[in-house]
């Protein structure tokens, strides 16, 4: 299917093509990964990294999902990149489902999926480990949940409301 093709192209780009860029440029993602795998308890600019939630230091909050992924998958850079690709795919799917809810004419429009998927900034930027991409995923989730609440009325009100609240709170914790 089309989503599988997009997934393969995205993974190839993240795991191979972006390595060239990463090799020649110092990126924050390397620091984030090192903080997580080396169990650094304190980094001067980022605060106390032993905490899981810290209202004053958003980087601590950003590292929490990375710590969970590293705990489950044993400190793998590959898995961190894969996690970013899953978020990328989630944004595409949520955006597409939202567009279908807003206008049913988009239902079988493959061009829309490819257009969303291969916007250059979105496609390349999502290959890096950043706070902003988690925020983009959460914003997509919020918009989709609000649209779903509007159109589906009394169906899954509690789940949608909890997703919206969780997303807003986590966005605030990442970018106060």
* pLDDT tens-digit readout, 130-149: 888 899 999 999 999 999 88
Asked if 157 contacts 149 with a C-beta cutoff of 8 angstroms, the reply is: yes
Confidence label for 39 from pLDDT (cuts 50, 70 and 90):
low
pLDDT value of residue 133: 87
Helices (H), the chain: 2-12, 18-24, 28-37, 58-73, 77-102, 110-117, 120-125, 131-152, 157-174
């Amino acid at each position: 299917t089309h989503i599988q093709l997009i997934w393969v192209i995205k993974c190839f780009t993240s795991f191979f093509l972006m390595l060239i860029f990463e090799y020649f440029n110092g990126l924050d993602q390397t620091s984030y990964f090192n903080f997580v795998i080396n169990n650094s308890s304190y980094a001067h600019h980022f605060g106390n990294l032993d905490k899981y939630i810290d209202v004053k230091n958003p980087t601590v909050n950003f590292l929490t999902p990375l710590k969970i992924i590293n705990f489950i998958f044993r400190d793998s850079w590959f898995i961190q990149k894969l996690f970013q690709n899953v978020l990328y795919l989630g944004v595409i799917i949520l955006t597409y489902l939202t567009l279908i809810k807003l206008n049913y004419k988009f239902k079988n429009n493959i061009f829309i999926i490819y257009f969303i998927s291969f916007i250059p900034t979105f496609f390349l930027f999502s290959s890096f480990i950043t706070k902003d991409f988690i925020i983009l995923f959460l914003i997509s989730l919020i918009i989709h949940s609000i649209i779903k609440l509007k159109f589906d009325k009394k169906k899954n009100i509690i789940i949608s409301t909890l997703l919206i609240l969780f997303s807003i709170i986590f966005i605030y914790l990442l970018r106060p």
